Structure 1
Amino acid sequence: MKLIPCIEMLYQAEHPDFIQRFRAARADGFDAVDTWLWRDKPLDAIVDVMAETGVAVNSFCVDPRASLVDVADHATVLSGVRDAVPVAQRLGGARMIVASGFRMAGVNEAEQRTRIVQVLREAARIAEDGGAQILLEPVHMVIGGQLMAVHTVRQGLDIVEEVNSPALRLLADVYHGAVSGETFEQAFADRIGLVGHVQVADLEGRHEPGTGTLPWPTLLPLLRERGYTGAVGLEYLPSRPIAESLALTRRALGL
């Protein structure tokens, strides 16, 4: 099971230049990275540095971010997916990340889920037609008293299962799951086949594994036992120089 650094967070302090982070990741033995929004990125330079280093882009975010809950945003969601598909193709099959957006006051939970499933079915069709894949990421975030509509791994798995498309899988960020109160076992249960990517950070502080309270020695054995064969993304805020941070992470995860 390999590790994939999110270069929006890792290498940022050492390498303010985004492209240089690909070279730094390669020097540390990584062959893929995760990123966030793409419209502000130098795509030509990314393609060039991918060819130079052999470092692939594993995932990036659909841009702009829009709500899966608010039907007024659905056209923006679908337009964003359409725009992201050729980017995914250009980046060698990188997956496209979406989050649900916030709960809507006055709209019951069942209706919110119906809306999310509806727009994701159409988004998955667009992705599948383009040979791409979407990752739904549950995110625990509260703004203005409103929590994200999909904030636990279990909720995300329920939605991916209902959409029932090979072009939609779950990005299981165990940090957000833990903030929501999930244990690793509760999160993954018996539907690991619906998980396309796993990301990690410790609780609290969102720093590297080994700095907080989560039981990291149990995570990889659990994933292997359940049949997960993908990578583990490092989406955390380094609390120390990158070499020390990565060494601590590898010890904590057992990789």
Structure 2
Amino acid sequence: MGFPELRYNVNLSILFTELPLLERPAAARAAGFTAVELWWPWPGSPAPARSEPAALRAAIEDAGVRLTSLNFYSGRLPGPDRGALSVPGEESERFRANVEVAAGLAESLGCGALNAPYGNRIEGVDPAEQDALALENLVLAARAADRIGAILLVETLNRVDSPRYPLVSAPAAVEVVDKVNEASGLGNARFLMDIYHLSMNGEDIPSVIDRFAARTGHVQIADNPGRGVPGTGTLPLADHLNRLREAGYEGRVGLEYTPGDRPSAEAFDWLPYEARRTP
């Protein structure tokens, strides 16, 4: 069974990283893609000088690609520091300072999804206190997303790569989604289903798809082991995506894998060229 006709995005924070940030949109377009997504591109700055988002916006527009998903500020990625919104003190304040900045960049590019990584557990801080702070900040983010007509994404990571991240199962992330929707009254929070992370957690992925496809706002893929190109590991990614399609999922699929020891432009042989162009 081949990969279904879905809308595939290239994540420019993990692919084409051999190039400077502003050259990546054009490289993705040269590889045949018309849609891209990004982690927050300035991990050290939740509110960079206006010239930096402006330059990125110009690079995306000049390349003729569309930004479809953007992370809020979440510290240093990849790495052990995951998320800021549930971390009391300076990191939470940095997240809050980023909310309108990220939403403004997303709005200027017609981006329809904003992802808010939850944040690690912190030693010496009551998890309940962190969860209350997270909910407060996620509602803030949901309102910002709603103002620009976007959805808010909450994702599961995996306990191997991110041992202090609390949302390491699909039900845990969906529970947070429900709490945000209830607290905000907006209904625009959705589950980000990352199949690589689910597999690393040992979840029954077909069951997760059957239970939560209707609650899913975005999907990301990489093979396992290795977080590599589809076909380099053991995950039946085509089967999983076909099952999602059969369950009614018509959203986007982010390619969030590492290219291995080859240039990123050579890491897409598994996906026909014509399938890379998406509205």
CA contact (8 A) 2:27 2:265 kept: no
State the partner residue of 2:267.
245
> Is the counterpart of residue 100 in structure 1 residue 122 in structure 2?
no
Aligned to 1:36: 39
1:180 aligns with 2:201: yes
Deviation at 1:8, TM superposition (A): 2.0
The aligned residue for residue 229 of structure 2 is 208
User: Is the Cα–Cα contact under 8 Å of residues 161 and 194 in structure 1 kept in the other structure?
Assistant: no
Query: Identity over the aligned pairs, expressed in percent?
Result: 32
Q: Distance in 1 between matches of 2:188 and 2:97?
A: 17
Structure 2, unpaired ranges of 5+: 1-5, 43-47, 76-82
Q: Which residue identity does 1:62 align to in structure 2?
A: F
From the superposition, tell whether residues 21 and 38 of structure 1 become closer, same or farther in structure 2 (CA, over 3 Å). Answer: closer
Cα gap change, 1:142 to 1:189, in 2 (>3 Å): same
Which letter maps to 1:127? A
Measure the CA separation in 2 of the matches of 1:122 and 1:108.
22
1:7 aligned residue? 12
Aligned to 1:230: 251
Distance 1:9 1:184 in 2: 23
Distance 1:79 1:19, change over 3 A: closer
Task: Letter of the 1:196 partner, please give it.
Answer: G
Q: Where in structure 2 are the equivalents of 1:158-197 lying within 5 Å? A: 158-164=175-181, 165-197=186-218
Larger RCO (alpha carbons 8 Å, 6+ apart): 2
Change beyond 3 A, Cα 1:168–1:85? same
Residue in structure 2 matched with residue 20 of structure 1 by the alignment: 23
SS in 2 for 1:191: helix
1:89 aligned residue = 107
One-letter code of the match for 1:147? R
Kept after mapping to 2: 8 A contact 1:35/1:60: yes
SS in 2 for 1:3: strand
Query: Which stretches in structure 1 are left out of the alignment for 5+ residues?
Result: none
Runs of 4+ aligned structure 1 residues displaced above 6 Å come to 106-111
Paired position in structure 1 for 2:96: 78
Q: Distance in 2 between matches of 1:75 and 1:243?
A: 38
TM-score between both structures, scaled by the size of structure 2? 0.77
Where does residue 155 of structure 1 map in the other structure? Answer: 172
CA contact (8 A) 2:192 2:220 kept: yes
